[in-house]
Amino acid sequence: EVQLVESGGGLVQPGGSLRLSCTASGFTFSSNWMSWVRQAPGKGLEWVANIKQDGSQKYYLASVKGRFTISRDNAKNSLYLQMNSLRAEDTAVYYCARVGDSYGQYFDYWGQGTLVTASS
Partner 1 sequence: EIVLTQSPGTLSLSPGERATLSCRASQSVSSNFLAWYQQKPGQAPRLLIYGASNRATGIPDRFSGSGSGTDFTLTISRLEPEDFAVYYCQQYGTFGQGTKLEIK
Residue numbers of the site for partner 1 (CB under 8 A)? Answer: 37, 44-47, 50, 59, 61, 95, 100-101, 103-113
Our CB check for partner 1 shows the closer of 13 and 105 to be: 105
Our CB check for partner 1 shows the closer of 75 and 104 to be: 104
For residues 78-90, b (16+ Cβ closer than 10 Å) or e, as one string? bbbbebeebeeeb
Our CB check for partner 1 shows the closer of 35 and 91 to be: 35
CB of residue 7 to partner 1, shortest distance in Å: 15
CB of residue 13 to partner 1, shortest distance in Å: 27
CB of residue 51 to partner 1, shortest distance in Å: 13
Our CB check for partner 1 shows the closer of 13 and 102 to be: 102
